[in-house]
Amino acid sequence: MNYPNGQRKPLTIKPKQTSFSRRGMTLEEEINETTEFYRIQGQAVIHKKPTPVQIVNVHYPKRSAAVITEAYFKQASTTDYNGIYKGKHIDFEAKETKNKKSFPLANIHEHQVHHMQQVIKHGGISFIILRFRAYEETYLFDAKDLFVCWQEQFDGGKKSISYDYVKQLGYLIPFHYQKKVDFLPVVDKLYL
């Protein structure tokens, strides 16, 4: 083959690239995509609850562009998601941690735990979806197991849930392309 200036272009071998397909995507974004897939397929209706905010001040630099400059939370929010699946109310929180050894209970609020207890008391399904980012592992962790850990912290116990404990009691949610956090099979297995 003739090359310009009679020189050959050196052959370069590119090193195998690591896949970063999920990098930058948060757990909530993946759950939102999954719940939208469930809704479109007619499997379940589950939505992310908006955080109640009171807007106090808005700046209008242009007629078509409003900028909120001051806002406050109206009230403490409950859990991140709720909806209905096979006639059952589902209510859950989604959390992720960079910590390799445990999930800090400080990331859960007392009003959220109380809300989850009320959901269960009235016959609903409640759990937490936990992601350990260091391992790219996502688990469904039953609310009743969370309640045990929550109470133990006030009785002199740990203020976190160990990764090993989550692996032991939780249920690994495998990653799928369309249903990135496909938790309904675990709900079927555990609750229905």
Q: Which residue numbers belong to the known binding site for Mg(2+)? A: 78, 80, 93, 112
Return the SS3 of 38. helix
Return the SS3 of 140. strand
Contact residues for 183 (Cβ-Cβ < 8 A; gap 6+): 31, 34, 129, 140, 173
Please report, in range form, the residues annotated as the binding site. Answer: 78, 80, 93, 112
Q: How far apart are CA 37 and CA 51, in angstroms?
A: 23
Element (H, E) at 72: strand 65-73
Instruction: Work out the end-to-end distance of the chain between its first and last CA atoms, rounded to an integer number of angstroms.
Output: 67
